[in-house]
Homo-oligomer: A and B are copies of this chain.
Amino acid sequence: MNEMIDATDVRILQILIRDAKRSNKEIGEEVHLTGQAVGARVRKLQDLGVIEGYTVKWNPDRLGLGLKAFVTVFLNSGDKHAAFRAFVAGREDIVEVHRVSGEGCYLMRVQTGTTEQLGELLEALLPLGNYRVSLSIGVEKSSS
């Protein structure tokens, strides 16, 4: 059950990352396999935890969520970590949170509709610590 991942598996994964709607048969033609062989490998990748799930790439701008920002968080004290995690779990506008070493304690990716909403988020964050905001004014590259 502990199988290795060969180059073909990686190729299949890369194809699926680019477009998960491709059929197994179509992928099979590209990697010189039949559709059901590709299906078996995809299932293996899922069982191994390499593939965690399937999602859609969506455009936040078209839904009035055009504001993207990176917020570096500096917590006031060490006992604020639990409160911070509860805070981010309850907010839909916080898309991604990383515990980081370097600048600050956490770095989170935020997605809101207006600057007012971003301001409200930052204000709610203040009791926990300080922050530094980098507002995205253009995406050069995204999820290669």
Residues of A bordering B, CB below 8 Å: 5, 10, 13, 16-21, 48-59, 62-63, 68, 70, 72, 85, 88-89, 92, 94-104, 106-108, 132-144
Q: Is there contact, CB below 8 Å, between B101 and A134? A: yes
Contacts of A141 in B (CB 8 A): 88-89, 94-97, 108
Q: Is there contact, CB below 8 Å, between A99 and B136? A: yes
Q: Is there contact, CB below 8 Å, between B55 and A51? A: no
Which residue of B is nearest A132, CB measured? B103
Whole-angstrom distance between the alpha carbons of A5 and B96 in the complex? 25
Given A10-B63, A103-B132, A135-B102, verify A56-B17 contact (CB < 8 Å): yes
Q: Is there contact, CB below 8 Å, between B62 and A50? A: yes
- Between A and B, 6 residue pairs with Cβ closer than 8 Å are A17-B56, A17-B58, A20-B55, A54-B55, A54-B57, A97-B141
